[in-house]
Amino acid sequence: MPTGPDLRARVAALPWYHQIDLAPGVRTPGVNDPSESLPRLGLPADLSGKTVLDIGAWDGAWSFEAERRGAQRVLATDSYSWTGAGWGTKAAFELAREALGSAVEDQTIDVFDLSPETVGMFDVVLFLGVLYHVKDPMGALEHVASVTAGRAIIETEVDLMLLRRPAAAFYPSTELNADPTNWWGLNPPAVAAGLRLAGFSRVDLVWKRSLPARLGGWAKHLRGGPRRRPLLDALNRHRAVFHAWK
């Protein structure tokens, strides 16, 4: 395993999305700190004996966390972020796995190619930060369901949160975070309904930011600088976490 100055130099030479502690004093400089969202995911503290599939793994932070929690087998999958279509590559995942001495497996595969025949079935499936990036969210959920034997954990951008009926916002350009790869903001009822239609028997919304908290965050932003986000957007849009069981 690489250590010391050699590891730091190799880390510095790569683009990173996740912040991952690879060794004492060596943390990858990603823009996403998984520790901020970990408390709201509801990831079981003990995954002993479980098989875990991480869809859209990117640098592998959640794959390595599942392994750390005792998972018997972890398969990390990705396509867009590993094949160079975006600004990431698979090199960061591979370096992290090497530095951590990890046994996490990998397979370069798109979510729409997932099936029991291509990857197998898994006790726990992680689908974190991916749903709003696909043009066909219902089709993606069907493929997620097809490889879930137990529970799927879905974390995603949600929109139209003020509506109680299932609805979705469509972003044909760069309306969401100035990112052309963001396509849909389903609201929580739409995500839950989609998961049930995909084949899950039970769906729980385990976390979303409350309306007062969303309003408070918008007001705090106003005090700290010029207005950049309309109030309606701040009230309607945030993130949510769902657990779905077969």
Phi, psi of 126 (to 5 degrees): -100, 125
pLDDT in tens, 171-223: 999 888 888 999 999 999 999 999 999 999 999 999 998 777 777 776 766 66
Q: How many CB atoms lie within 10 A of CB 134?
A: 20
Q: How far is CA 218 from CA 178, 212, 230, 231, in A?
A: 19, 10, 9, 7
Half-sphere exposure of 99 (CA within 13 A, CB side): 29
Determine the pLDDT at residue 1.
65
**What is the model's pTM?**
0.93
Residues 10-39 have a mean pLDDT of 95
pLDDT digits (tens, 9 = 90+) for 116-168: 999 999 999 999 999 999 999 999 999 999 999 999 999 999 999 999 999 99
pLDDT tens for 49-107 read 999 999 999 999 999 999 999 999 999 999 999 997 777 799 999 999 999 999 999 99
Look at 71 and 1; give whichever has higher pLDDT. 71
pLDDT, tens digit (0-9, with 9 covering 90-100), for 3-24: 677 999 999 999 999 999 999 9
Q: So what's the pLDDT on residue 213?
A: 76
As beta bridge partners, residue 169 has: 185
The neighbour count for residue 4, using CB atoms within 10 Å, is 11
Task: State residue 244's pLDDT score.
Answer: 98
| Mean pLDDT to the nearest integer, 15-34 | 95
Alpha-carbon distance of 245 to 222, in angstroms, equals: 40
Q: What three-state secondary structure class fits 225? A: coil
In this model, does residue 224 exceed pLDDT 70? Answer: no
**What CA–CA distance (Å, rounded) separates 199 from 142?**
7
CA gap 122, 114 in Å, rounded: 12
Q: Where are the domains of the chain?
A: 4-209+239-245
What CATH code is assigned to 4-209+239-245? 3.40.50.150
Sign of the Cα torsion 226, 230, 235, 241 reads: negative
Rounded distance, CA 213 to CA 230, Å?
Answer: 16
pLDDT attached to residue 6:
92
Q: What is the dihedral of CA 227, 228, 232, 234, to 10 degrees?
A: -100
Looking at residue 231, what is its pLDDT? 79
